[in-house]
Amino acid sequence: MRVLQALGGQAKTAEPKVAIVIPCYLVAPHIAQLIRSIPRRFDLIVCVDDASPDDTAQRIAELDDPRVVLIRHERNQGVGGAMKTGYQKALALGATVLVKMDGDGQMSPDDLDGLLAPLLDGSADYAKGNRFVDLAALRRMPTVRLFGNAALSFVSKAASGYWNMLDVTNGFTAIRAEVLRRIDFAKLADRYFFETSLLIELNIARARVCDVAMPARYDTEQSSMKLSRVLVSFPALLVRGLLRRFYWRYLIQDFGPVSVCALTAVPLLAFGFTFGAIHWLESIRSGTPATAGTVFVAALPIILGFQLALAAVVLDVVASPSQKRDR
């Protein structure tokens, strides 16, 4: 096994076609079994120990698996930070396709072939697992996590623009190296927003994304993502990501119907709500009902703005460069 402390290490093995990148934090009970279960044809496994306080790194080292490159962070950087380190190392070692697998045992190597198929046959640039097609397996998913994933997936669709994807938050992914090299790593989030931020950047790059059906697996492992963190940090990140995507896709790259609808809707809605609020408060203060004309002046821009905003969303959905793939 090759243990590297920095990204500048030199590899002595032949360049692999597929690299498995595993961010590792508090996964000591699962990591050894996961690595053993990865088929031998995958000859590069990059494990990034994200300053895990348990013996994760030791258990990886004890495997003495020649396929494994172990990178150790001196301080915790989050799943996104670990993935960026792993991606950079895999790219440096010549990987042409890079797979992300979590180290907690929720992702099965049995699904690797299905995940890789759309990339290897050239029909997609990025593939993501979709757990929302196996109803039997979903019944075993914790209820809070199920509804949380569903809600987060919906708002992530709006931010990323990949409206046809069902399981946006799924971390079992594969990406082609030439597409990954077009992504500015500085724009990718360091922590749990990483997958969504990557989708946003992929949409800006107009990458083709594929949803690959696979079963949900929930056994004894515990997710380290906390609902409180999501509720506090994700809304601002989603809004920022949506605005960034809109700016690049519909103002810089392709100024068209979506741009016109959205840019017209915003001032109409702003005027309608502001004008209506001012006169509503004035009506309460004075005790005099607003006139029909005042109500009309407030309501018409809101109605028109809503219709234009809805049209922009529909056109954005139609332009979504994504597809679904059965197992």
How does pLDDT run across 39-90, given as a tens digit for each residue? 999 999 999 999 999 999 999 999 999 999 999 999 999 999 999 999 999 9
When pLDDT is cut at 50, 70 and 90, the band that residue 2 belongs to is low
Within a 10 A sphere around the Cβ of 67, how many other Cβ atoms? 19
pLDDT at 136 over 60: yes
pLDDT at 6 over 60: no
State the pLDDT at residue 111.
Answer: 94
Pull the structure tokens for residue 143: 């209820």
Q: Which of 125-129, 174-178, 212-216 has the lowest mean pLDDT?
A: 212-216
| C-alpha closest to that of 130 among 180, 93, 166 | 166
pLDDT at 312 over 80: yes
Pull the structure tokens for residue 74: 């001196």
For the chain, what is the mean pLDDT?
Answer: 88
Quote the strand ranges of 53-112, DSSP E: 68-72, 97-100
